[in-house]
Structure 1
Amino acid sequence: MIDVRVSPELPYRALVSLPAGETRLPCRIAFLEEGIVRVTVDPTGAFEQYTRPVSPSHVARIQAQPDESPVYAHPSVAVRDGGDALVIRAGETELLLGRADGRMELRRRGRVVMREAAPARLGEGRSAQELRIAAGERFFGGGTQNGRVEHSGSVVRIVTTPMNSNQWGDGGVASPCPLFWSSAGYGVLRNTFAPGAYDFGSTGDTLVAAHEDGVLDAYLLVADDPGAGLRRVAQDILRAYFKVTGTPALLPDFAFYLGHLNAYNRDAWSCEPEDGAQAWVVRGSAPADAPGKTRYELGRRRGYVVPEGHLAESLNGTDEVLCASAEKYRGVTTYEFSARAVIDEHARNDMPLGWILPNDGYGSGYGHNGYERTGGVSPDGESSPERLAAIAANVENLASFSAYANERGVEVGLWAQSQITPSPDPDVTWQNLRDFRAEVSRAGVRALKTDEEWVGEGYSFGLSATEQGHEILAEETGGRPFVLTLDGWAGTQRHAAVWSGDQDGSDWEYIRMHVPTYLGQGLSGNPNAASDLDGIFGGSAVIATRDFQWKALTPVMLDMDGWGALPKLPYANGDPHTGICRMYLKLKSRLMPYLKTCAASASCVGGWEGNDDLGLPMVRSVLLADEVAPEEAARYEFLLGDALLVAPVYRNTRADEAGNDVRDGIYLPGGPDAAWIDYFTGERHAGGRTVDGVRAPLWKLPLFVRAGAILPLWEAHNNPRRQGEKNPGGLDRTRCVVDFYPGPGESRYVAYEDDGVTSGGHVSTTYACVERGGGVELLAEASRGGYEGYDPLRSVTLRAMVDTRPSRVTAQLGEKDLELVEVSTIEELEAVEPAPGTATWLYEAAPAIETHAPAGERVLAGMVSGVRGAPRVSVRFPRSDVRACGRRVLLGL
């Protein structure tokens, strides 16, 4: 029979003896919260606080703090007789243990949320839990399971894909997480670094979760109200998971802009064809069928040595820092083939760019000092002064590049293909030695991508490596680190964004697979999802363009250049592709205040209350808005926050040769009273139905706005650094725009803003829209809070979609009525600063599509020439302190 008693020292903990044949199994049950119950069955009776890592040198832990931490409420438990079971209770959560065999049943508010089908099974280095599956129960989690979002009826592997196998296509596992949760209102986090598999009823009506670990150690996560619907269940489970393992990293602002990655310090180049050279064609604003500019790359492999006299890639071109130890380097470093030139090329093409990783390991460091030199290591592993001097000289070269990039608004990061401290291996060539702390503190590095050759072991190694990079960035900069990784585990979210692996971008499968990948990753507790634009391998102009479109509505964007059949640059494929990529990168720059607000909620930022969405990912399944959404919609469309619905073009439906197509199967969540508005044309659609045949010409991503939504915006820009002489495309935070999409009744939205660099405070601004009595009221309340460097003197424009020209327009700044001055064009509205006591306003009956394309991109111009948006009214207020008072617009309609 089972035996249970409450620990006298720790009254939130119950000590249990479970029957196991002729023996007894020691078990410990700890109620850390009413909604977080740790159950540990340990045959050894050791009850270790933290699970054993793969190696003692791996110091990172799954939990963010010990169970005894004051972070937890530690409610006292009581034990009572429940007839066939003993009941352990804390508040309104009960864990029942069957008297005969210890079989568990979990209840919340009297509702059964989890029930074991058989007692836990332990033995021979394995532990398994078998749970009953209720009719209609749905399962999520498992980490980055490529191509997967919901797991009912399938088997999910909680294993790290073997290093260098590149098994990251559909069904591949890029970053497993030993977490799953159920629509019934519970989740299970296994506290283990051992491989496992979760069978969600593939052959029957039970769920079997097993790991190669002789201890069954699980945190049971319980929704506060299991019957409140999938959205609330997801929110409660994810927040409980974050309570145990740490909240997701809030990335610095630059990480949300396009990142460019390549090896700019290894290969040779030519302007003419050479044997074995890879041709790269870049067309910019020229037509897609134009010859473009072709350059030829030699090398593209580890161990390549630049032949004497050849043009060579570098970070700084003619300004490369070359010291005495570079005597074996015989290449000619020119500006054209430098990483500096790539930054400038983005600017010339008016392409947003937030960060660049100019090395990729694999023979590409960030300087040519110590080129092809080895040795210089004493028997005790110490480097010679000359070896250390070569590392220092390369750090200086990197610092020179970082200064150049930063002046132009771009942050610099590095790949880590191996360890990030100077290697004691004498066979490592000096130009490839790393000192990440110096790279950060001296050379201005602000990002790290942990590559598979370093973190490919995964499990505790991957978590520790990611934590190491994160801590160095935090300690040396005082800012928010940006780490991008794969082969993650539970807890990775507190350190890093997760990338989905090396894939081929040549066909539609690339996009089809990634939409559910992002959804599944967010529902596994890591909202910061990333993948390569158009893949690292292969390449297709149409696929790349479609990929840029939808990924502009996701957190992290990166193009991994130099490995595929085509350049992965947004301006590579010519008109109209170049202009379409620019259009969506600019759209993302405009949406940054909204996206950042979603990110703050996903990261549960301290002091931030959110919009009833704390803990939910940025990229959200439509199931969180409408549980009856069809399976296709649940996999191949998503919500960005609650306001925007994105339906990526993920297959060829009825496309012509140019890639113009239609999108079938778009489900619009909500009931018939809900409405969704085409972002580009203003066409309205009722909710609760599936729409087929939605026109999707190549330039157009099917994108919808929920009626009643409020979108805080910036003006279009290229990076989040301030504007300057060398960075004219930078962000001006003093010019704000807010878009209102009026719906019946009242809607409110609270926007989050911080400095984008540190965690030193934030500003909240509440916006409201009220439609009643034949009119619309737009309101921007006074902003609250602040951060270092915050400038509250701002020019604010409130815009609303309308059906027709308003009969009257009034504007108030605080309690003061403003004199309205009407202008006739959007250019005039944006150019003219309203005088004190006045506001300018504009009515646009049919606004043009904003592409931001130069006049020379005529193909794209022709595509959008006949397309117009819905009527809108814009009111621009005079520059004033947004913390002093609110702004109000009344539209008579």
Structure 2
Amino acid sequence: MTDVRVSFGEKGLPCRIAFLDETIVRVTIDPAGEFAPYARPLSPEHVTRIQAQPDESDVYAHPVAAVRDEGDALAVSAGGTEVLLAKADGRMTLRRRGRAVMREAAPVELGTGLSTQTLERAPGERIFGGGTQNGYAEQTGRVVRIVSTPMNSNQWGDGGVASPSPFFWSSVGYGVLRSTFAPGVYDLGATDGALACSHEDSVFDAYLLVAEDPGAGLRKVAQSILRAYFKVTGAPALLPDFAFYLGHLNAYNRDAWSREPREGAQEWVVRGSAPADGPGETRYELGRLRGYVVPEGHLAESLNGPDEVLVASAERYRGQTPHEFSARAVIDEHAAHDMPLGWILPNDGYGAGYGHNGYEMTGGVGADGESSPERLAAIAANVENLASFSAYANERGVEVGLWAQSQITPSPNPDVTWQNLRDFAAEVSRAGVRALKTDEEWVGEGYSFGLNATRQGHEMLFERTGQLPFVLTLDGWAGTQRYAAVWSGDQDGSGWEYVRMHVPTYIGQGLSGNPNVASDLDGIFGGNALVATRDFQWKALTPIMLDMDGWGALPKLPYAGGDPHTGICRMYLKLKSALMSYLRTCAASASCVEGWEGNDDLGLPMVRSVLLADERARGEMAEKYEFLLGDALLVAPIYRDTRADAVGNDVRDGIYLPGGPDDVWFDFFSGARHRGGQVLDGFDAPLWKLPLFVRGGSIVPRWEPHNNPRPAGPLNPRGLDRTRRVVDFWPVAGESRYVEFEDDGATAGGHVSTACSCACRDGETVLLVEPARGSYEGFEPHRCVTLRATVEGRPEAVRAWAGEKGLELVEVTSREELEDGEPAPGTAAWLFEEAPAVETWAPAGERLLAEMVAEAHGAPRVSVRFARVDVREAALRVALLG
């Protein structure tokens, strides 16, 4: 650590420069000379820090810094990084390996309650970061507000700030993380071309993050800066696998219902597999607000229907609780419509607890703030009701979370009705709660408050379960990523603006160090069946999906829209379930999981800007309205009406395919090949089809389609079978390699790595899955594995080996024949499909979707299914000749 006196004109100010690593330098200018190790929180009760560990931690290398006089400047250096301070006015220049990556255009300006750093903007420089800046992937030339949206203002539309972060980085090769909880404004070239970044803090305290090699290109710069940012603020949380499946959120313990129209009731129409223009099944909801009291004798919602746990303190509750209006029924409905569902929040709404014990009772708080035995007993009875619901959900493969609008311990406020009291420790320990969603009424103050709250929830979940926590929040800050996923706020899903805004939001949030991104499907308010269907499509290729039901004009359910909308939603939910192995591998890289080497992508987000694949990407549409999931899959959402017909069939313009003429991108559904480096206009996108492409040479590990990550069982017949694996190959000339990450999806208890490769040369294509390495508790190595390759035509010959043993190949004639059985030992089954049908997983009754895809098919494909084998011991190899 080096202390330097910096001169600003005739006045000297204390400055401390600390090299934590060669590429992480902390610079603090403190007029008081105190050099506090952490930013001052908004309240002493907020003990959570921006930093994941103190600067003195052995996480850092602490290189010895040297100070030398360069005449007009002092240079403080360690390794290949130098900080130069002009003697005349203290202006900083940051150099890496002799290359200037950051220059101050003016001295740091310190005033009463304000500190401003002004940086020169280099030609062609691009700026990213700032947290969740809705509607923006890049921040160059903008005025970015590093400030939480005022609580209850719902200013989360385009330009709104859901979760700010005092961090930005430059394509030139540097990043700046301000160690402060104070609001800020970053003018990133909007006014005069310079970058002027201010915070309402009289101390300038910043971590300067330097790319290992600033000239290595945007991808390497992004990777280097983000990993340095994570080293200071903590790696993003690796979420449990259920978090990546669809979540359903609603208030199931507050309102009344009717099968017939009633005055003031909200009409909900669910069409399921019936036609979208048909009448559907209609139900009517009464209440829908905090403080609603169910009238005596009314049908009412609950968690458990007739099995609700009720004790004496529920005497004021006079509603009837049939199964059809319960949270249990919603789980059953998803299963009946064959819709993947991973988690449910049954109390997502104001005034919705999770039981009716202590209904409309208040008081019971002593002068010391302690609750009476009767009050505590009501809480305990409601926890038992929640536990009953969790057991029901878990048996059906679904995890349970809770929504928190206020503190997560029993409130000492005697005016709080007992059915709304919380005891999160008991909810987790006794009732099996695995997730927490924090509402703006709790974390809406943001800054140190929000960061502290998410840490509390995260730690309580982990300490009491030993499992990976899932916390979903907004109003975050730098460091939030190590505890929580971030969603973009309450928005209206009525029109295309909802989709348009979210595509760049997701990209920008990932580039800000928050890879676990989320938003409500079709919004929380409003609703539009066509927009909802298109929203489902592209968000199935992103980390977190949630239906925020009960607040809009339409039910937010994947089976609400009717045929073909129901089938299209199912199609993409099933596709996501199949891709979970690939998605989890991307998540491990984004979270920099210990011991995981990644695929040259450690630290990069799951949702990746096309610029990270090709800095030559042309046009705003490429930079803002398409993205990569990992490196293999390119997603170009339908985000506006281009030339749509009455059904919603449309085209997509401006799809940029990264690379050059020698690169190949496959249409995921048709297998059509397109060269890289071009822009596709007028790309055909009928309602059922998301423009989705696969990079040539990609290897994509998959599971067989399923509905949730829990093992299959009598009450969960469509759970995940980890012993039946599929690996998809998209061969092109040359060689490619991909390493799959697999863990139990629930704990931090180790992982398995499986390397896959493809070599295509001299008329032969070789597909190889190497023996698995590593382990985790519960890993089952005896597996039935299928290797599939998209090809140009029927091969002249197919050969297969398990280890060194050649296998007898048995050709089958249909996909059903291949998938339904398992080959005998010493054999393998293989299938050639000239034109494989598009998989929708729809029942026969969804006629409209069937008609839509009837003429659609994929490119020729070869599948080889191996007999069950110990994948730790035997490599699986297929050779396609000719």
Please state which band the TM-score falls in when normalised by the shorter chain. over 0.9
SS at match of 1:873: strand
Q: How far, CA to CA, are the matches of 1:843 and 1:360 in structure 2?
A: 49
Deviates more, 1:18-27 or 1:547-556: 18-27
Q: How far, CA to CA, are the matches of 1:818 and 1:73 in structure 2?
A: 52
How do 1:769-848 residues align onto structure 2 when only pairs under 5 Å count? 769-848=758-837
User: How far does residue 59 in structure 1 lie from its aligned partner after superposition?
Assistant: 1.1
User: How far does residue 83 in structure 1 lie from its aligned partner after superposition?
Assistant: 2.4
Tell me the residue number matched to 2:377: 389
| 2:506 counterpart letter in structure 1 | Y
User: How far does residue 671 in structure 1 lie from its aligned partner after superposition?
Assistant: 1.1
| 2:666 counterpart letter in structure 1 | I
Tell me the residue number matched to 2:504: 516
Q: How far, CA to CA, are the matches of 1:21 and 1:817 in structure 2?
A: 80
Query: TM-score, normalised on structure 1?
Result: 0.98
| 1:269 counterpart letter in structure 2 | W
SS at match of 1:852: coil
SS at match of 2:711: coil
User: How far does residue 20 in structure 1 lie from its aligned partner after superposition?
Assistant: 2.7
Tell me the residue number matched to 1:862: 851
Q: How far, CA to CA, are the matches of 1:503 and 1:213 in structure 2?
A: 32
Tell me the residue number matched to 2:242: 254
| 2:881 counterpart letter in structure 1 | G
Which one of the candidate residues 551, 555, 559 is aligned to 1:567?
555
SS at match of 1:721: strand
Q: Kindly indicate whether the alpha-carbon contact (under 8 Å) linking 1:399 and 1:444 is maintained by their aligned counterparts in 2.
A: yes
Tell me the residue number matched to 2:4: 16
Tell me the residue number matched to 1:6: none
User: How far does residue 551 in structure 1 lie from its aligned partner after superposition?
Assistant: 0.2
SS at match of 1:799: strand
User: How far does residue 22 in structure 1 lie from its aligned partner after superposition?
Assistant: 3.6
How do 1:689-700 residues align onto structure 2 when only pairs under 5 Å count? 689-700=678-689
| 1:890 counterpart letter in structure 2 | A
Per-residue Cα deviation, 1:827-856 (whole angstroms, up to 9, x for no partner): 000012100000000000000000000000
Which one of the candidate residues 102, 122, 128 is aligned to 1:114?
102
SS at match of 2:321: strand
Q: Kindly indicate whether the alpha-carbon contact (under 8 Å) linking 2:688 and 2:849 is maintained by their aligned counterparts in 1.
A: yes
Q: Are 1:716 and 2:718 counterparts? A: no
Q: How far, CA to CA, are the matches of 2:211 and 2:6 in structure 1?
A: 27
Q: Kindly indicate whether the alpha-carbon contact (under 8 Å) linking 2:313 and 2:359 is maintained by their aligned counterparts in 1.
A: yes
Q: How far, CA to CA, are the matches of 1:462 and 1:725 in structure 2?
A: 42
Tell me the residue number matched to 2:153: 165
Q: How far, CA to CA, are the matches of 2:32 and 2:24 in structure 1?
A: 24
| 1:664 counterpart letter in structure 2 | D
Q: How far, CA to CA, are the matches of 1:595 and 1:65 in structure 2?
A: 29
Which one of the candidate residues 329, 335, 339 is aligned to 2:323?
335
Q: Report percent identity of matched pairs.
A: 77
Per-residue Cα deviation, 1:411-463 (whole angstroms, up to 9, x for no partner): 00000011000000000000000000100000000000000111000000000
SS at match of 1:113: strand
Q: How far, CA to CA, are the matches of 1:829 and 1:559 in structure 2?
A: 35
User: How far does residue 624 in structure 1 lie from its aligned partner after superposition?
Assistant: 0.3
SS at match of 1:177: strand
Q: Kindly indicate whether the alpha-carbon contact (under 8 Å) linking 1:284 and 1:572 is maintained by their aligned counterparts in 2.
A: yes
User: How far does residue 361 in structure 1 lie from its aligned partner after superposition?
Assistant: 4.4
| 2:554 counterpart letter in structure 1 | L
Tell me the residue number matched to 1:203: 191
| 2:418 counterpart letter in structure 1 | W
Q: How far, CA to CA, are the matches of 1:257 and 1:210 in structure 2?
A: 40
Which one of the candidate residues 106, 112, 115 is aligned to 1:124?
112
Tell me the residue number matched to 1:885: 874
How do 1:491-570 residues align onto structure 2 when only pairs under 5 Å count? 491-570=479-558
> Gapped runs of 5+ residues in structure 2?
none
Q: Kindly indicate whether the alpha-carbon contact (under 8 Å) linking 1:361 and 1:416 is maintained by their aligned counterparts in 2.
A: no
Which one of the candidate residues 60, 72, 81 is aligned to 2:60?
72
User: How far does residue 100 in structure 1 lie from its aligned partner after superposition?
Assistant: 1.0
User: How far does residue 85 in structure 1 lie from its aligned partner after superposition?
Assistant: 1.1
SS at match of 1:296: strand
> Gapped runs of 5+ residues in structure 1?
1-12
Q: Kindly indicate whether the alpha-carbon contact (under 8 Å) linking 1:121 and 1:129 is maintained by their aligned counterparts in 2.
A: yes
Q: How far, CA to CA, are the matches of 1:837 and 1:228 in structure 2?
A: 49
Q: Are 1:98 and 2:86 counterparts? A: yes
Tell me the residue number matched to 2:597: 609
How do 1:217-616 residues align onto structure 2 when only pairs under 5 Å count? 217-616=205-604
Q: How far, CA to CA, are the matches of 1:566 and 1:831 in structure 2?
A: 39
User: How far does residue 657 in structure 1 lie from its aligned partner after superposition?
Assistant: 0.8
Q: Kindly indicate whether the alpha-carbon contact (under 8 Å) linking 1:361 and 1:432 is maintained by their aligned counterparts in 2.
A: no
| 1:325 counterpart letter in structure 2 | S
SS at match of 2:301: strand
State how many pairs are aligned. 881
SS at match of 2:449: helix
Q: How far, CA to CA, are the matches of 1:817 and 1:21 in structure 2?
A: 80
SS at match of 1:655: coil
Deviates more, 1:220-229 or 1:84-93: 84-93
Q: Kindly indicate whether the alpha-carbon contact (under 8 Å) linking 1:361 and 1:418 is maintained by their aligned counterparts in 2.
A: no
User: How far does residue 80 in structure 1 lie from its aligned partner after superposition?
Assistant: 1.3
Tell me the residue number matched to 1:706: 695
Tell me the residue number matched to 1:215: 203
Per-residue Cα deviation, 1:336-358 (whole angstroms, up to 9, x for no partner): 10000000000000000000000
Query: TM-score, normalised on structure 2?
Result: 1.00
SS at match of 1:502: coil
User: How far does residue 81 in structure 1 lie from its aligned partner after superposition?
Assistant: 1.8
| 1:163 counterpart letter in structure 2 | M
User: How far does residue 205 in structure 1 lie from its aligned partner after superposition?
Assistant: 2.2
Q: How far, CA to CA, are the matches of 2:189 and 2:40 in structure 1?
A: 29
| 2:168 counterpart letter in structure 1 | F
Tell me the residue number matched to 1:3: none
SS at match of 2:738: strand
User: How far does residue 23 in structure 1 lie from its aligned partner after superposition?
Assistant: 2.6
Per-residue Cα deviation, 1:585-608 (whole angstroms, up to 9, x for no partner): 000000000000000000000000
User: How far does residue 14 in structure 1 lie from its aligned partner after superposition?
Assistant: 1.2
User: How far does residue 152 in structure 1 lie from its aligned partner after superposition?
Assistant: 1.2
How do 1:5-44 residues align onto structure 2 when only pairs under 5 Å count? 13-44=1-32
SS at match of 1:356: strand
Q: Kindly indicate whether the alpha-carbon contact (under 8 Å) linking 2:274 and 2:280 is maintained by their aligned counterparts in 1.
A: yes
Q: How far, CA to CA, are the matches of 1:672 and 1:246 in structure 2?
A: 40
SS at match of 2:12: strand
| 2:491 counterpart letter in structure 1 | Q
How do 1:167-186 residues align onto structure 2 when only pairs under 5 Å count? 167-186=155-174
| 2:239 counterpart letter in structure 1 | L
Deviates more, 1:354-363 or 1:607-616: 354-363
Q: How far, CA to CA, are the matches of 2:220 and 2:72 in structure 1?
A: 32
User: How far does residue 21 in structure 1 lie from its aligned partner after superposition?
Assistant: 3.7
SS at match of 2:401: strand
Per-residue Cα deviation, 1:131-176 (whole angstroms, up to 9, x for no partner): 0001100000000000011111111000000000000000000000
| 2:23 counterpart letter in structure 1 | G
Tell me the residue number matched to 1:7: none
SS at match of 2:829: strand
Q: Kindly indicate whether the alpha-carbon contact (under 8 Å) linking 1:409 and 1:727 is maintained by their aligned counterparts in 2.
A: yes
SS at match of 1:658: coil
Q: Kindly indicate whether the alpha-carbon contact (under 8 Å) linking 2:818 and 2:829 is maintained by their aligned counterparts in 1.
A: yes
Q: Kindly indicate whether the alpha-carbon contact (under 8 Å) linking 2:51 and 2:232 is maintained by their aligned counterparts in 1.
A: yes
Q: How far, CA to CA, are the matches of 2:45 and 2:74 in structure 1?
A: 41
Structure 1 vs Structure 2 CA RMSD = 0.5
SS at match of 1:24: strand
Which one of the candidate residues 669, 675, 679 is aligned to 1:680?
669
Ranges of 4+ aligned residues in structure 1 off by more than 2 Å: 20-23
